[in-house]
Chain A
Amino acid sequence: MSRTDTRTESLTSTGTGGVGESPLRPDGTLKVRGEFAYSSDLWHEDMLWGATLRSPHPYARIRSIDVGPALTVPGVHVVLTHEDVPGENRYGLEHADQPVLAVDVVRYQGEPVAIVAADDPETARRAAARVRVDYEVLEPVTDAEAALADGAPVLHPDHPGGNLVRQVRIRFGDPAPTAPVVVSGEYTVGMQDQAFLGPESGMAVPAEDGGIDLYVATQWLHADQRQVCLALGLAPDKVRLHLAGVGGAFGAREDLSMQVHASLLALRTGKPVKIVYGREESFFGHVHRHPAVLRYEHGATRDGELVYVQAEIILDGGAYASTTAAVTGNAATLGAGPYRVPNVHIDCTGVYTNNPPCGAMRGFGAVQACFAYESQMDKLAEALGISPVEVRVRNALEQGSVMPTGQVVDSAAPVAELLERVRDRPLPPERGGPLDLRELPGGVSNTTHGEGVVRGVGYGVGVKNVGFSEGFDDYSTARVRLEVTAGEPVASVHTAAAEVGQGLVTLQAQIARTELGVARVVILPADTSVGSAGSTSASRQSYVTGGAVRAACEAVREAVLARVPGAAGLAGAAVVSASGEVLADLVEVLGEDVVERTVEWRHRPTEALDPATGRAFAHVQYAFAAHRAVVDVDTELGLVRVVELACAQDVGRAMNPDAVVGQIQGGSVQGLGLAVMEEIQVVDGVVRNASFTDYLIPTVLDTPPMPVEVLEYADPHAPYGLRGVGEPPTLSSTPAIVAAIRAATGRALTRAPVRPEHIVDG
């Protein structure tokens, strides 16, 4: 195999299927047949394999590192430490606070200390284990609130503010409101893992110009490029990134993992170097969802109208900042939920500890807040003696409402309708008929034949921002070209946007087909030879890269139409008039010419938060989903079976209806995982379940029927009126399921995930 195998081949989408249709994915057949080349499949005849030595301690001083014993292993080419980092030994998405390789201190279990290149992966791993590191083990800081106390060890002496990464204050309305009905609670959310199936992997290939070609599964090629350049001390034209096949992301590929390490080894050895993390290593190779403690107080009138929300949110960012600052901003600005609240007081704090670093994961701060405010809304309903849906509907945000940041919601916000739609669905039938263990909590493990089983129903609704917020210059770049190939007009689309499984490649082809009236669209491999597309995160790529592709198509179309008098559009491979009359065949108009345009496209600018009050036009778009969960709980054993998880979501415009439903169902299941099983257990800074044996994610037998209602209220500010889809269902699924378990058991259940012990012991 050569080094440019299928991972850098173009994907071709043919036939029909424009915006609003559900054409087949161009990568779908390959993936279903097991033939798609993921980053772990990269291959080069001359390649070496890299391995990483990681700290076993959550906090320790490094007295010395002796690579000698590793170098004596036959088959080892090089062993590198921090001394071998030619550029800045620092990286990070928001703060460059993380060393490429640890220097004199390690701040979390799993922090990279040394890297090895060898002839095969086994040799590389064994050699890495022979590097002698003399650690002075220190007492780790593992409690986020203790980390902020006076006298706590300062984990990043260079960072102003001690262990505080960021605090966001939201001050809205009356600073000292009172209300006749008050409910309060403290909630905790455990550390969830993105649990993508394709572990971190990639290959760095040294180039003749002294630079490097890096093939990697990532979410944002240009953010990687910037950080790799700094660490290698190379200019951007010397560090060329190519997207390798991505096996899921969910935020876990925003931060660097093996990118710099493989590049260092490749530059030093002059050979291609491949690194693939194993499953256990993967748990240490990426950031996780921030564990959170959330203390809320809601005040309401006796009629159930919210008077105020007060909240204190603590997010444990772990050893390095990653995206903690932005997660903190999200949890704060969205912390009152999709409700009209006249008075809001929120302090949201992101903290350094010696726990595993936390950063981006689907829902990004809004997930934790949603679990707390929705739990509170249920509590409020109970205090008022009204239904959970009613209390939400009475306070539901709508278009024109004002957020606690002062931002006016300037497009559809059908929060009440979403709730009413899931509420009004028929309930799934009660259990009955002959015993089928698969329909009971515990499944074929045969723990109940119906004894102790109680059904519960719960609701949740959430709000998520779409796109990068708080004044970030959020843009994407698309290059679109139109030419005649083999007698047929063909559009090619080139962006640096990462397809991570969500279907962006399909959507790009749909947009090109709609805008240019061609059947055949080629999606070129994503790489850094075209401008940045921004990150595949924040539910933003359909909006931003979709917007860029449309804008580039429009520019190409304009150039073509200028050639034909009276031309108004392109359709059916022809130039047409305003009335749809065919004026000319597109093939003839183009002839031998290539029409190519590159467009950098931005959404409306947002604003930074006022540091004292959080006031700002902070988010470009809000997105909403609501869930109704029906569960059966074995109240004696604490086991749960989710019977049905219905969702309603407004997507503005269903660009690809099948993909939209897929995203909503996938997000719902990820929320189900957080509700009942998914948690990285960390004790004294040490991860206790770094495997899929003990970090459990839902199987198909844990996944219920998920009816989905898709609403399409166009956002006039967004391309095609679309609204980001990926994240909102991950928010409301968790509190809906936990509320259903509460309804079945009467337990308070203030923690996600709910473990059997919590149900049995209260």
Chain B
Amino acid sequence: MDFLRPASLAEALAAKAENPAAVPIAGGTDVMVELNFDRRRPPALLDLGRVAELARWGEENGHVRLGATVSYTRIVEELGTVLPGLAMAARTVGSPQIRNRAGVGGNLGSASPAGDAHPPLLAAGAEVELASVRGTRTVPVGEFFLGPKRSALAEDELITAVLVPRAAGPQQFAKVGTRNAMVIAVCSFGLALDTAARSVGTGIGSAGPTPLRAAEAEEFAAAALPWDEPAALDEATAREFGELVAAAARPIDDVRGSAAYRRHALAVLARRTLRWAWQDVSGGR
């Protein structure tokens, strides 16, 4: 197996164009497991560890441009204010060791329905930046996932960044697992309120073939929330929102949990996260 070590993004893109079967590796959270279990034997690994362009983030035009290999630890420490939903999700990823190495690019690249970064990116309306020697394009994260572990990434492309709108209101993320740390989501939920646009974003994890948005729930909440006079959220609205989120899920029974439990839990998470987010609105925070 070849181990390619480009020193710049240009070199990385050239290498990927030349070796489309090369598997990019940054933190290796998923890639190393697949190699160790002999489930995957690519002809080459493309190490992105030396590509400085991918390990940076910055703000431009109201977006945060978050490089693909910025670690979850840095997301927690540096982006808690501008991308609170993603930072909350980042805090639940694996162990401290994994969070020190792993980033959003790999999560997207694996395109697992259980990826912890996906629900907050969906809820925030993020776009994925894909680059190749042919040029750069962006894809809305909702269109990026095509199926379980399948994405819109072309074989000569690399995920270079995500473009995430700066939070315009409270955001929340919650994840159910069967232990209290280091656990893959049984199901998860991301929520983003935009108090200026009076819109609601959602993202569902681990309860469908891809991460999902709950479009009906978003529309319902946008219409039902008392934006003009933000008082305490009434129980019926929270409950209906939860039910609509649960209805948007397409879960299956598997080793981590049953479909029925996932739907139930999503309704609870959606209800709770909406209340927490709305507390911030009504509390003027």
B269 and A444 within 8 A (CB):
no
- Ordered by A's residue number, 27 sampled pairs between the chains whose C-beta atoms are within 8 Å are A125-B38, A126-B38, A441-B180, A442-B176, A442-B180, A445-B174, A445-B176, A445-B180, A446-B174, A447-B269, A449-B272, A451-B272, A637-B176, A637-B268, A638-B261, A639-B180, A681-B255, A688-B255, A694-B184, A696-B183, A700-B181, A756-B176, A756-B178, A756-B186, A757-B257, A757-B261, A761-B261
A639 to B272, CA, bound (A): 15
Q: How far is the CB of B184 from chain A (nearest CB, A)?
A: 6
A444 and B91 within 8 A (CB):
yes
B180 and A443 within 8 A (CB):
yes
B residues at A contact (CB < 8 Å): 33, 36-38, 88, 91-92, 172-184, 186, 255-258, 260-261, 264-265, 268-269, 272, 276
Q: How far is the CB of A635 from chain B (nearest CB, A)?
A: 10
Q: How far is the CB of B285 from chain A (nearest CB, A)?
A: 14
Q: How far is the CB of A734 from chain B (nearest CB, A)?
A: 16
A444 and B92 within 8 A (CB):
yes
If A442-B174, A444-B92, A756-B178 are given as contacts, then 15 extra A-B residue pairs at C-beta distance below 8 Å, sorted by A number, are A278-B36, A445-B180, A446-B88, A446-B173, A446-B175, A636-B268, A637-B269, A639-B180, A689-B255, A693-B33, A698-B179, A699-B180, A702-B179, A756-B186, A757-B257
A701 and B261 within 8 A (CB):
no
Among A126, A278, A280, A445, the residue within 8 A (CB) of B177 is A445
B180 and A701 within 8 A (CB):
yes
Beyond A447-B175, A694-B256, is A701–B181 a contact (Cβ under 8 Å)?
Answer: yes
Q: How far is the CB of A281 from chain B (nearest CB, A)?
A: 10
List chain B residues, Cβ under 8 A from A761.
260-261
B95 (CB) vs chain A CBs: closest residue = A699
Among A451, A641, A702, A760, the residue within 8 A (CB) of B261 is A760
**Proximity string of chain A (615-650) to chain B, C-beta cutoff 8 Å, 1 when within and 0 when not:** 000000000000000000000111101000000000
A residues at B contact (CB < 8 Å): 125-126, 278, 280, 441-449, 451-452, 636-639, 641, 676-677, 681, 688-689, 693-694, 696, 698-702, 755-757, 760-761
Q: Which of A278, A280, A444, A700 has the most CB of B within 10 A?
A: A444
Which 10 pairs of residues, A with B, have the shortest CB-CB distance? Answer: A443-B180, A701-B181, A445-B175, A757-B261, A688-B255, A701-B180, A446-B174, A699-B181, A445-B92, A636-B268
B256 (CB) vs chain A CBs: closest residue = A694
Beyond A636-B268, A756-B257, is A444–B181 a contact (Cβ under 8 Å)?
Answer: yes
A681 to B183, CA, bound (A): 17
A185 to B219, CA, bound (A): 49
A637 to B267, CA, bound (A): 10
Q: How far is the CB of B53 from chain A (nearest CB, A)?
A: 31
List chain B residues, Cβ under 8 A from A126.
38
A688 to B257, CA, bound (A): 12
B255 and A699 within 8 A (CB):
no
Q: How far is the CB of A576 from chain B (nearest CB, A)?
A: 55
- Give the secondary structure class of B's interface: mixed
List chain A residues, Cβ under 8 A from B276.
449
Q: How far is the CB of B86 from chain A (nearest CB, A)?
A: 13
B265 and A637 within 8 A (CB):
yes
Q: How far is the CB of A439 from chain B (nearest CB, A)?
A: 10
B265 (CB) vs chain A CBs: closest residue = A637
A700 to B179, CA, bound (A): 11
A639 to B88, CA, bound (A): 19
A446 and B92 within 8 A (CB):
yes
Beyond A278-B36, A694-B255, A760-B261, is A702–B88 a contact (Cβ under 8 Å)?
Answer: no
B267 (CB) vs chain A CBs: closest residue = A636
Beyond A446-B92, A757-B261, is A696–B269 a contact (Cβ under 8 Å)?
Answer: no
List chain B residues, Cβ under 8 A from A702.
179-181
A641 and B255 within 8 A (CB):
no
A442 to B92, CA, bound (A): 10
A301 to B175, CA, bound (A): 48
B33 (CB) vs chain A CBs: closest residue = A693
A148 to B117, CA, bound (A): 50
B272 and A677 within 8 A (CB):
no
A25 to B240, CA, bound (A): 60
A443 to B174, CA, bound (A): 10
List chain A residues, Cβ under 8 A from B272.
447-449, 451
A687 (CB) vs chain B CBs: closest residue = B255
Q: How far is the CB of A116 from chain B (nearest CB, A)?
A: 14
A280 and B37 within 8 A (CB):
yes
List chain B residues, Cβ under 8 A from A694.
184, 255-256
A693 and B181 within 8 A (CB):
no
List chain A residues, Cβ under 8 A from B38.
125-126
A681 to B178, CA, bound (A): 14
Q: How far is the CB of A279 from chain B (nearest CB, A)?
A: 9
Q: How far is the CB of B127 from chain A (nearest CB, A)?
A: 25
A760 to B263, CA, bound (A): 12
A449 to B38, CA, bound (A): 42
A105 to B255, CA, bound (A): 29
A442 to B181, CA, bound (A): 8
List chain B residues, Cβ under 8 A from A693.
33, 184
Q: Which of A441, A443, A444 has the most CB of B within 10 A?
A: A443
Q: How far is the CB of B268 from chain A (nearest CB, A)?
A: 5
List chain A residues, Cβ under 8 A from B92.
444-446
A677 and B175 within 8 A (CB):
no
List chain A residues, Cβ under 8 A from B265.
637-638, 756, 760
Q: How far is the CB of B102 from chain A (nearest CB, A)?
A: 15
List chain B residues, Cβ under 8 A from A760.
261, 264-265
Q: How far is the CB of A729 from chain B (nearest CB, A)?
A: 20
Q: How far is the CB of A677 from chain B (nearest CB, A)?
A: 5
Q: How far is the CB of B161 from chain A (nearest CB, A)?
A: 26
A443 (CB) vs chain B CBs: closest residue = B180
Q: Which of B33, B38, B177, B179 has the most CB of A within 10 A?
A: B179
A81 to B91, CA, bound (A): 50
